[in-house]
Amino acid sequence: MHNLESIIQSAKVLIVEDETIISWCLQESLEALGYQVSAVVSSGKKAIDAAVLVKPDIALMDIRLKGEMDGIEAADFLYRNFDIPIIYLTAHSDENILKKAIQTSPFGYLLKPFAPKELHCTIQIALQRHQSESRLSEFISIASHELKTPLTSIHGALGLLASGVLANQSDTAKRMLDIASSDTERLVRLVNDILDLERLESNKVTLNRQWHDAAELCQQAIATMQTIAAESQIAILSNLKSLKVFADSDRIIQTLVNLLSNAIKFSPPQSQVQIEVEQIADEIVFRVCDRGCGIPKDRLESIFERFNQVDISYSSQKGGTGLGLAICRSIIQQHGGKIWVESVLSEGSTVSFTIPYRDFNNR
Ligand SMILES: Nc1ncnc2c1ncn2[C@@H]1O[C@H](COP(=O)(O)OP(=O)(O)O)[C@@H](O)[C@H]1O
Ligand SMILES: [Mg+2]
C-alpha cells in the first residue's frame, strides 16, 4: 500500500478556472497548504492537454468555462480517460447543474466562496477515497483473473467429459476429473481467502479479544498442521512457555497456521520448522522459523501484498493463493501488532509478529 500521507502532502493539483483573480487566489491558498499546483488553465480543452502533460493527482474544476467544452464535460473526460478525481468549485447551486455534475462521479462539490480549510478537507477526503477506489479496482481485476484460471480449466475438463469423446478412455477421463476436482478446491480456497481479506480490510471483522495462553494457541496451530507436516516429512519443533496474550484466539491460530503452512511448503523434506513465543518488553512475540528456500531480499516486504508470490508457478502448484500473508498482516495490524520476515536465501526464513501485551485500546 502507498503511504497515504506522502501522497497527500505532495499531491499535484490542476486548476481549471477562467477567472484570473480566482485562480490566482486558489493557487496561493493551495501552495500555502503544501500542495503542488502543477498547472493553471482556463478552458476544458487546455485542461485535457495539461492533464496529459503534468498527470495531476486531482483537478479543481470550475463548471462554467468559456470555449466549446464546459467544466462538466472536461471533468467527465479527465475522470473516465485519465482516472483523475474531480472537485467542482462553482458558484452554481442550481439543481439541474448539480444533477449533471453528479453523473460524472465527482469527488467533491464546493460552492464559492469557500475557506481554504474547506478546500483542504475536501481535497484530503477526495484523495483518500480515490486511493481506496483504485486499490479496490486493482484487487478486483487481479482477483477475477485468478478466479478465471481454475474456472477455465474446470470448464474445459467437464466439457470434454460431457461431450462423450472420452467414453472409451477411462484413464484420460479420470485425469480430467482429477483436474476438475483439484481446480474446484483451488477455486473454493481463493473465494474464501478473497472474502476473508475483504472483510478484514474493510473493518467488518470485530476481534473477539480475550486473555489466552500463547503456548496453547501455538499448540492448536501445530495440531492443525501436524498431518500435512508429516506428509512432507517435516518435524514441527516447539519450545513453548506459558505466556498470557490478549488476542482473538481464532485469528491468531489462523495466522500461525498460515505461517506454518508456508514454512512447510517452502522447506525440503526431512527438515525442521520451529515455532516460538516470548515476551519482550510489553509485547508477545511469536516466531515461525524454517530451513527452507528463503526469500530474496527485495521481496521481504512485497510478499505481504495481495497475490504476491516469489515463484508463482511453484506456489500455485503447491495450492497457494498468494493471499495468506496479506490476511496475516491484516489480522496482526488489527491487534495493534507488527509482522515481518527475516530470511537468507537457501538457508531459511523467520516470520515474526508481535501482539501488544495489554489491550492497547484500554491503556
Ligand atoms: N517461509 C517461507 N519461505 C519462503 N518463501 C515464503 C515463505 N513464506 C512466504 N513465502 C513467499 O511469499 C509468498 C506469499 O505467501 P502467501 O501470502 O502465504 O501466499 P501463498 O502461500 O498462498 O503462495 C509465497 O508464495 C512465497 O513466495
Ligand atoms: Mg501461504
Query: Would you say 268 and 304 are in contact if contact means Cβ atoms under 8 Å apart?
Result: no
Supply 100's cell numbers.
449533471
Which ligand does the CA of 296 lie closest to? 1
Separation of CA 327 and ligand 1 centre (Å): 12
What pLDDT is recorded for position 1? 40
Query: Residue 191 belongs to what H/E stretch?
Result: helix 170-201
| Ligand 1 binding residues, C-beta < 6 A | 258, 262-263, 266, 290, 292-293, 295, 303, 308-311, 315, 320-326, 349
At residue 98 the predicted structure's pLDDT band, cuts being 50, 70 and 90, is very high
Closest CA to 305 of 142, 169, 164: 142
Residue in 287, 291, 307, 309 to alter for ligand 1 test, most ligand atoms within 8 A of Cβ: 309
What pLDDT is recorded for position 92? 78
**Domain pair 137-201 / 210-362, same fold:** no
pLDDT surpasses 80 at 8: no
Separation of CA 175 and ligand 1 centre (Å): 28
How confident is the model over 70-86, as a mean pLDDT?
A: 96
pLDDT surpasses 90 at 4: no
137-201 adopts what CATH topology? Helix Hairpins (1.10.287)
> Three-state secondary structure along 60-123?
EECCCCCCCCCHHHHHHHHHHHHCCCEEEEECCCCHHHHHHHHCCCCCEEEECCCCHHHHHHHH
Separation of CA 289 and ligand 1 centre (Å): 13
Pick the CATH number of 4-114 from 3.30.300.30, 3.30.1490.100, 1.10.760.10, 3.40.50.2300: 3.40.50.2300
Give me the sign of the Cα torsion angle 261, 267, 268, 269.
negative
Residue in 260, 267, 303 to alter for ligand 1 test, most ligand atoms within 8 A of Cβ: 303
Q: How far is CA 131 from CA 4, 22, 84, 137, 213, in A?
A: 8, 28, 11, 10, 39
Q: Which atom of ligand 1 is found nearest the CA of 321?
A: 22
- Domain 210-362, CATH homologous superfamily name and number: Histidine kinase-like ATPase, C-terminal domain (3.30.565.10)
Give per-residue pLDDT as tens, 214-239.
999 999 999 999 999 999 999 999 98
- What residue segments make up the domains of the chain, in order of their start? 4-114, 137-201, 210-362
Can you list the positions of beta strands (E) in the chain?
Answer: 12-16, 36-41, 58-61, 86-90, 108-111, 210-213, 235-239, 244-247, 272-280, 283-290, 339-344, 348-356
Q: Which atom of ligand 1 is found nearest the CA of 290?
A: 1
At residue 314 the predicted structure's pLDDT band, cuts being 50, 70 and 90, is confident
Separation of CA 318 and ligand 2 centre (Å): 10
**Residue type at position 303:** I
Q: Which atom of ligand 1 is found nearest the CA of 326?
A: 17
Q: How far is CA 143 from CA 5, 137, 192, 199, 203, in A?
A: 27, 10, 12, 15, 20
Separation of CA 142 and ligand 1 centre (Å): 18
Separation of CA 183 and ligand 1 centre (Å): 20
Please name the residue whose Cα sits nearest to atom 13 of ligand 1: 309
At residue 359 the predicted structure's pLDDT band, cuts being 50, 70 and 90, is low
Residues in the chain: 363
pLDDT surpasses 80 at 148: yes
Separation of CA 266 and ligand 1 centre (Å): 8
What pLDDT is recorded for position 137? 87
Residue in 262, 295, 344 to alter for ligand 1 test, most ligand atoms within 8 A of Cβ: 262
At residue 252 the predicted structure's pLDDT band, cuts being 50, 70 and 90, is very high
Query: Would you say 267 and 232 are in contact if contact means Cβ atoms under 8 Å apart?
Result: yes
Query: Residue 258 belongs to what H/E stretch?
Result: helix 249-265
Q: How far is CA 297 from CA 157, 262, 302, 313, in A?
A: 40, 17, 10, 20
The 3-state DSSP composition of the chain as helix, strand, coil percent (nearest 5) reads 55, 20, 30
Q: Which atom of ligand 1 is found nearest the CA of 292?
A: 3
Which ligand does the CA of 345 lie closest to? 1
Give per-residue pLDDT as tens, 110-136.
999 999 999 999 999 999 999 989 988
Residues with CB under 5 A from ligand 2 (ion): 262, 324
| Mean of the per-residue pLDDT values of the chain | 92
For residues 7 and 32, the model is more confident at 32
Separation of CA 199 and ligand 2 centre (Å): 18
Phi, psi of 348 (to 5 degrees): 145, 175
Q: How far is CA 172 from CA 114, 157, 161, 166, 168, in A?
A: 72, 10, 9, 7, 9
What contacts 67, CB < 8 A, 6 or more positions away?
43, 44, 45
